[in-house]
Structure 1
Amino acid sequence: MSPDSTNVHAPKGKTSSQKFADADTKYKNQLQQMSHTERALKGLPYLANDPALVRARLRARRIFHAFNASLPNPTDPSDLPAGQQPQGIGGSSIGAGDSPPPDVMGDERRELISKLLGVGKDSVQRVEIEPPFWCDYGTNIKLEGAFYCNWNTTILDAAEITIGDGTLFGPK
């Protein structure tokens, strides 16, 4: 780790109070001017119960609660074209000339995810997240393109998390 790095890694055996005191000493001039949000994003000690951070977490919880309670896009196997079987064991696959697979996310879920991540709806067009899904803030999750997230995923985004194009998350 370089001497000018912003991450604080204290030796084992130090208490939280000692780690905070070390960071206060090392970053004295910077810490006084940083919000707890800025501290968290830089990997410095911060107060998780800071009112701005609490409001941001509650905002995320309201959004992912609505997302987790939402229904998938109203496409059901009975809506398949004549002769096409549902996917799965014994099902048929979609051929090159067939229509694209249905959008499982749908408009409601896509709107909620774009709101949670703090991005435009266009940024989540190639994103599919299976509920339930949880995170700290949502706005610290940066997607670089297509992303599939299977069910029961938790992303702890107290610091920025970047997810590359074509990333797939499996279930727990």
Structure 2
Amino acid sequence: MSNNAARFAAVDASHGHLLSTLSETEKSLLGLPYAANEPALVRARLRARRLFLRYNQTGPSTHDPADLPSGQKPQGIGGSDDDGAEVAPGVNSEERRHLLAELFGISFEQTAQVEVEPPFYCDYGTNIKLEGSWYTNFNTVILDCSEVSIGTGVLFGPK
């Protein structure tokens, strides 16, 4: 028996009573072995792919940071929870913000503190939980088969 087969057998033995009552999505979120080809999961991955492919083809905001008053930073870059309505327009275009809101299952307002440099890739998007401001550089891949929690003020480097 291979190592993987042995691990799956151990999970079946210890969680067998529970596994039969869970959907494949629930198993995935719990970190248990699951069938990724289950139709609901396939649909959810296709939804995410369509959204991030559209996102990856969009352009940044047309606002020029040089037009900002001295000392004022664009929204989303080093933003904080106390950034209010007076914060200048962000570097993300409105189209990008709408796509991020749909991809991550968050409000349009929450995207004001999120900047994702394309290209960006993920499995589902809705399993990525954002706790505040977040910046991610180019070529980020997040495999969110299970919940991925990203705290406030987190910065991801490229690749």
What range is the shorter-chain TM-score in?
Answer: 0.7 to 0.9
Larger Rg computed on CA atoms: 1
The residue aligned with 1:46 is: 34
Q: Compute the displacement of 1:100 (Å).
A: 4.0
Give yes or no for the alignment of 1:165 onto 2:152. yes
Q: Percent identity?
A: 50
Write the distance in 2 (CA, Å) between the matches of 1:69 and 1:15: 42
Higher relative contact order (CA 8 A, sep 6+): 2
Write the distance in 1 (CA, Å) between the matches of 2:154 and 2:9: 39
Give yes or no for the alignment of 1:70 onto 2:58. yes
Write the distance in 2 (CA, Å) between the matches of 1:37 and 1:74: 39
- TM-score under structure 1 length normalisation: 0.77
Give yes or no for the alignment of 1:30 onto 2:32. no
What is the CA deviation profile of residues 25-57 of structure 1, one whole-angstrom value per residue up to 9, with x for unaligned ones?
211111001011111111110111111111110
Q: Compute the displacement of 1:23 (Å).
A: 1.6
RMSD of aligned C-alpha atoms?
A: 1.9
Which residue of 123, 126, 131 corresponds with 1:139? Answer: 126
Structure 2 unmatched runs, 5+? 75-88
Aligned pairs for 1:7-156 (under 5 A) are: 14-76=2-64, 80-81=66-67, 95-96=70-71, 99-101=72-74, 102-156=89-143
Write the distance in 2 (CA, Å) between the matches of 1:103 and 1:123: 12
Amino acid in the other structure paired with 1:95:
S
Aligned length: 145
Write the distance in 1 (CA, Å) between the matches of 2:30 and 2:93: 35
The residue aligned with 2:83 is: none
Q: Secondary structure at the match of 1:59?
A: helix
Structure 1 unmatched runs, 5+? 1-12, 85-93
Contact between 2:59 and 2:93, CA under 8 Å: does it hold in 1? no
Write the distance in 2 (CA, Å) between the matches of 1:69 and 1:39: 33
